[in-house]
Structure 1
Amino acid sequence: MKNIAIIGAGISGLYIANLFSQNSNYKITIYEKNSSVNLEKGYGIQLSVNSIKLLNQINFQKISVEDKFHPHKLDFYSLKNNKKICDLDISMFNSADTKYTTLQRSTLINFLKDGLHENIIHYNKKVIKINEEAENKEVSFEDGSSIKCDYLIISDGTFSKTKSLIANKEIKP
């Protein structure tokens, strides 16, 4: 069995953990720097047809119809004068089981978390060092602990501090 360490319990980290958990050849552990996953309501997310195809691989269809909305078009407005520029008929990209979807970010995160074993996410684990030279990758955390893994997936955000540990340069916006 191969050990996979995933850095970051956001949408990407939780999604890839769900995929790998379908294969018994892998043991997955997620390491999250925060004390919990942000489930604050009020943040919406838009999911294209391609992302729905991927999410359907882990039973996205299980999310209640009441929790999702499938808009037919998007309107584009100018920031300068607030006038409508155009609209885009996004329903033309839809199929029966893959539709452009909007929903609460917290609904998506809960769905992704619910697909995993409860003890798979380890919180308060801020990465400070990664040793790639060993046979197994070794990840050291700010709390003094460390782990070894066969595969390391870094999914802690666009401006990832962890990626900069490997790239030996700071990743900036």
Structure 2
Amino acid sequence: MQNDIVHPSRGLGRMRIAVVGAGIGGLATAIGLQKCGHSVSVHEQAAALTEVGAGIVLAPNSQRLLAGAFGIVVSGTVRPSALHLRRWQDGSTISRQLLGAEASARFRADYVTLHRADLIDALAAGVQPGTLHLAQRTIAVRQDDDGVEVDFENGESLRADLVVAADGNRSLVAAAVGVPTVPRASGYAAYRGLASPDLIEELGDDHTAWLGPDRHFVHYPVSGGRFLNFVAIVPSPRDEPESWSSAGDIGDARAHFADWDPRVRRILACTDSVGLWGLYDRPVHDVLHAGRTVLVGDAAHPVLPFFAQGASMALEDAAVLSSLLGRATPENLADRLAAYSAARVPRVRKVQQVSYRNATMFHLADGPEQQARDARLGTPGAGDPLRDNDWLYGYDARDEAAVALARNS
């Protein structure tokens, strides 16, 4: 078996950087670092970047980064008319906050829904030719004062000035450099699927969440309106896998919502297959780097999907990290990585906390607490997702990076 040392092409880059994982965070980080002139390679264990996953949301805080920071345009995005919260049993409106032009004007970017595969395709097309290396499963990482060496299952190795761990919630890279990566179960799992676009005409193009006792149901159009994406959150005491490609039982999914509004049941009746994804996160560490290894996305801070910010946090990570490393050299690398951790940890902790809060708020049993929640969310000026989330949607990761650079200079 070969055990050659394979270096990323030096090109004109100031540092050799290897990214492990070709998901949203890994690819976006690679694009940002290449724009800074670094020599970057991306190493993905899968043999192909297939259409894995389902719908995701990009709120204005991440949507503005795609074109602004990374120069990426994604096909098939949909701009929902509103964020619509409904009652589980009869579909009555709890609150409906207009998005569209209002959100775009307020936050200088759109609130969009899309298929994860469309975003991955666009990001993969955005890295330089020869950057992406598939079928390279990482099996070992060793670092010293001068660099990091990564070994792959196929017998190849590489040495780089910096390794970016973008390999998910159970990151092998993070574990190898001493960062604990033991996920904590939320007690919930998500059935994910795609239904007929015919339902969009009936249900509208809102990003809709139906709230009910101990579970909720979300749907919105993706792929330019060719599919209605749905996510059904249910209690799960079992250790469900986290994989985007894990299959679920459509009969079980339907049973969980058998007494819900007929429109929810109709969505589940219009599909024959669903994925089943266990929902896990873990507390955010005080620092997101160790030596010459830095963590992004789920490898750094997995977030429960009850706030629709997982992909957005990965894109923010990529923007902040690539900005901070724009003029970095091996000599000042440690300071720049410390600045990245200082910038990102408070924000991702807050997002994680809100996600946990929603896990409780969305799933209240019918009764006084639920009635108080509905009244609060339905009162004009209260529970306004745009006003309440100014801190979230109005945030620009590039501004955060500029402040961190100023402190670091």
TM superposition score category, shorter chain reference: 0.7 to 0.9
Q: Which residue of 1 aligns with 2:34?
A: 21
Worse-matched range after superposition: 85-94 or 138-147: 85-94
Cα distance in 1 for residues equivalent to 2:81 and 2:169: 29
Cα distance in 1 for residues equivalent to 2:90 and 2:45: 40
Q: Over residues 49-80 of structure 1, what are the superposed CA-to-partner deviations in whole Å (9 max), with x where a residue is unaligned?
A: 010121122223x445xx2211131122456x
Normalised to the residue count of structure 1, the TM-score between the two structures is: 0.83
CA shift for structure 1 position 10: 0.7
Q: Which amino acid aligns with 2:163?
A: L
**Is there any run of 5+ residues in structure 1 with no aligned partner, and where?**
none
Q: Which amino acid aligns with 1:87?
A: R
Q: Does 1:8 align with 2:21?
A: yes
CA shift for structure 1 position 117: 2.4
Cα distance in 2 for residues equivalent to 1:46 and 1:169: 28
Q: Does 1:58 align with 2:70?
A: yes
**Is there any run of 5+ residues in structure 2 with no aligned partner, and where?**
1-13, 184-279, 281-409
| Greater relative contact order (CA < 8 Å, ≥ 6 in sequence) | 1
Q: Greater strand percent: which structure?
A: 1
* CA shift in 2, pair 1:7/1:86, >3 Å: same
Q: Which amino acid aligns with 1:23?
A: C
Report percent identity of matched pairs. Answer: 25
Aligned partner (choices 108, 114, 128) of residue 117 of structure 1: 128
State the superposition RMSD in angstroms.
2.3
Correspondences of 1:40-79 after superposition (within 5 Å): 40=52, 43-56=54-67, 57-60=69-72, 62-64=73-75, 67-77=76-86
Q: Which consecutive aligned stretches of 4+ in structure 1 deviate over 6 angstroms post-superposition? A: none
Q: Which residue of 2 aligns with 1:145?
A: 156
Q: Does 1:93 align with 2:103?
A: yes
Q: Which amino acid aligns with 1:112?
A: L
Question: How many pairs align?
Answer: 167
Larger Rg: 2
Correspondences of 1:116-135 after superposition (within 5 Å): 116-135=127-146
Please tell me whether the aligned partners of residues 136 and 148 of structure 1 are also in contact (alpha carbons under 8 angstroms).
Answer: yes
